[in-house]
Amino acid sequence: MTFAQFYTIESVASITGGVCYGKENLSIKTLSIDSRSLQLPGETLFFALVGERHDGHLYIKDLYKKGVRAFVVNNLESVDSKQFPNAAFVLVPDTLRALQNLAQNHRKNFLYPVFGITGSNGKTITKEWLYQLLNESYSIVRSPKSYNSQVGVPISVWHMNNEVNLAIFEAGISQPGEMDQLSKIIQPTFGIFTHLGDAHRENFKSEVQKLEEKIKLFSSCNSIVYCSDKKLVDESLKARYGRDKELISWSRNHAANLKIVSEEIKGSRTFIKAKYKKKSKEINLSFTDKASIDNAITCWLCLLNLNVDDKTIKEGFLKLEPVAMRLEIKEGIGDCTLINDYYNSDLDSLGIALDLMNQQQNDKRKTLILSDIFQSGYTNRQLYKAISKLLEQKKINRLIGIGEGISSQSKLFKCDASFYGSTDVFLADLNRNHFKDEIILIKGARNFHFERISNALQYKAHQTVLEVNLNAMVHNLNYFRSLLNPDTKLIVMVKAFSYGSGSTEIANLLQHHRVDYLAVAIADEGVELRNAGITIPIIVMNPEYHSFDTMIEYSLEPEIYNQAICLEFEKALKRNGVRNYPIHIKLDTGMNRLGFVQKDMDTLLSVIVKNNHFFISSVFSHLAGADEQQHNDFTAQQINLFTKWSDQILSQFPYHIDRHILNSAGIERFPQAQFDMVRLGIGLYGISCVHQEKLMNVSSLKTAISQIKEVSKENTVGYGRKGHLQSDARIGVIPIGYADGFNRKLGNGLGKVLVNGQAAPVVGNICMDMSMIDLTNTDAKEGDLVQIFGDDYPVSILAEQLDTIPYEILTTISRRVKRVYFQG
Nearest to 377 by CA among 202, 222, 619, 183: 202
Q: Which residues are annotated as a binding site?
A: 593, 768
DSSP 322: P
Nearest to 207 by CA among 216, 197, 217: 197
Tell if the pTM clears 0.85, that is, is over it: no
Cβ 211 vs Cβ 236: under 8 Å: yes
pLDDT at 24: 77
Q: Is 459 a catalytic residue?
A: no
Assess whether pLDDT exceeds 50 at residue 789.
Answer: yes
Assess whether pLDDT exceeds 70 at residue 152.
Answer: yes
| Sign of the dihedral through C-alpha 669, 671, 673, 678 | positive
Cβ 42 vs Cβ 69: under 8 Å: yes
Rounded to an integer, the average pLDDT of 694-713 is 91
Helix, strand counts (H, E) of the chain: 26, 41
pLDDT at 588: 95
Instruction: Please state, rounded to an integer, the average pLDDT across all residues of the chain.
Output: 88
| Sign of the dihedral through C-alpha 504, 506, 509, 515 | negative
Q: Is 495 a catalytic residue?
A: yes
pLDDT band at 3 (very low <50, low <70, confident <90, very high): very low
CATH 3.30.1370.160 is right for the domain spanning 110-318: no
Cα–Cα distance for residue pair 122/4, rounded to 1 Å: 31
Amino acid code (one letter) for 516: D
DSSP 151: T
Fold that domain 329-457 belongs to in CATH: Protein-Tyrosine Phosphatase; Chain A (3.90.190)
Nearest to 265 by CA among 344, 402, 396, 359: 359
590: left (phi over 0), alpha (psi -120 to 50) or beta: left
Kindly compute the dihedral angle of the four CA atoms of residues 778, 782, 784, 790, in this order, to the nearest 10 degrees.
80
Amino acid code (one letter) for 368: L
Fold that domain 7-101 belongs to in CATH: 3.40.1390
| Beta strand pairing call for 337-341 and 658-660 | unpaired
Cα–Cα distance for residue pair 370/630, rounded to 1 Å: 62
Fold that domain 465-694 belongs to in CATH: TIM Barrel (3.20.20)
The CA–CA distances, whole Å, from 518 to 62, 498, 505, 526, 823 equal 19, 10, 13, 9, 22
List 495, 586, 702, 752, catalytic entry: 495
Assess whether pLDDT exceeds 70 at residue 823.
Answer: no
Amino acid code (one letter) for 260: I
Cβ 234 vs Cβ 256: under 8 Å: no
Amino acid code (one letter) for 803: D
Q: 142 by DSSP, 3-state: which?
A: strand
Cβ 678 vs Cβ 490: under 8 Å: yes
Residue pLDDT, tens place only, 574-631:
988 899 999 999 999 999 989 999 898 888 898 888 888 999 999 999 999 999 999 9
pLDDT at 390: 86
b/e for 385-409, b at 16 or more Cβ within 10 A? ebbbeebeebebebbbbbbebbbeb
pLDDT at 203: 74
Residue pLDDT, tens place only, 663-702:
999 999 999 999 999 999 989 988 888 888 889 888 889 9
Which is more confident, 726 or 190? Answer: 190
**In sequence order, what are the residues at sequence separation of 6 or more whose Cβ sits closer than 8 angstroms to the Cβ of residue 35?**
46, 56, 59, 62, 63
pLDDT at 324: 46
**In sequence order, what are the residues at sequence separation of 6 or more whose Cβ sits closer than 8 angstroms to the Cβ of residue 546?**
none
Cα–Cα distance for residue pair 328/454, rounded to 1 Å: 11
List 545, 719, 745, 781, catalytic entry: 719
Residue pLDDT, tens place only, 276-293:
999 999 999 988 778 889
Assess whether pLDDT exceeds 60 at residue 142.
Answer: yes
Cα–Cα distance for residue pair 229/233, rounded to 1 Å: 8
pLDDT at 791: 84
In DSSP terms, 333 is beta-bridged to none
224: left (phi over 0), alpha (psi -120 to 50) or beta: beta
Nearest to 520 by CA among 549, 563, 556, 570: 556
Rounded to an integer, the average pLDDT of 485-502 is 77
Q: Which residues are annotated as a binding site for substrate?
A: 593, 768
Cα–Cα distance for residue pair 350/550, rounded to 1 Å: 24
* Alpha helices (H) in 449-559, listed in sequence order: 451-457, 470-482, 495-499, 503-512, 523-531, 548-553
CATH 2.40.37.10 is right for the domain spanning 699-822: yes
Please state the domain extents for the chain.
7-101, 110-318, 329-457, 465-694, 699-822
Rounded to an integer, the average pLDDT of 39-45 is 80
Nearest to 590 by CA among 694, 661, 664, 492: 661
Residue pLDDT, tens place only, 515-533:
999 999 889 889 888 887 7
Q: 137 by DSSP, 3-state: which?
A: coil
Radius of gyration of the chain (CA): 31
Assess whether pLDDT exceeds 80 at residue 1.
Answer: no
Nearest to 674 by CA among 620, 731, 602, 596: 620
Nearest to 811 by CA among 799, 821, 820, 823: 799
Residue pLDDT, tens place only, 249-263:
999 999 999 999 999
Rounded to an integer, the average pLDDT of 720-733 is 91
The CA–CA distances, whole Å, from 542 to 65, 258, 608, 656 equal 30, 47, 20, 24
Q: 409 by DSSP, 3-state: which?
A: coil
Kindly compute the dihedral angle of the four CA atoms of residues 423, 427, 431, 437, in this order, to the nearest 10 degrees.
50
Q: 454 by DSSP, 3-state: which?
A: helix
pLDDT band at 163 (very low <50, low <70, confident <90, very high): confident
Assess whether pLDDT exceeds 60 at residue 460.
Answer: no
Percent of the chain with pLDDT over 70: 91
For 605-611, which contacts have Cβ atoms below 8 Å and span 24 or more sequence positions?
Answer: 605/648, 605/649, 605/652, 607/563, 607/566, 607/567, 607/570, 608/566, 609/652, 609/653, 611/570
pLDDT band at 462 (very low <50, low <70, confident <90, very high): low
Rounded to an integer, the average pLDDT of 111-132 is 93
pLDDT at 461: 44
pLDDT band at 459 (very low <50, low <70, confident <90, very high): low
Assess whether pLDDT exceeds 80 at residue 510.
Answer: yes
pLDDT at 2: 33
Rounded to an integer, the average pLDDT of 386-404 is 91
pLDDT band at 5 (very low <50, low <70, confident <90, very high): low
b/e for 612-623, b at 16 or more Cβ within 10 A? ebbbbbbbbbbb
pLDDT at 498: 57
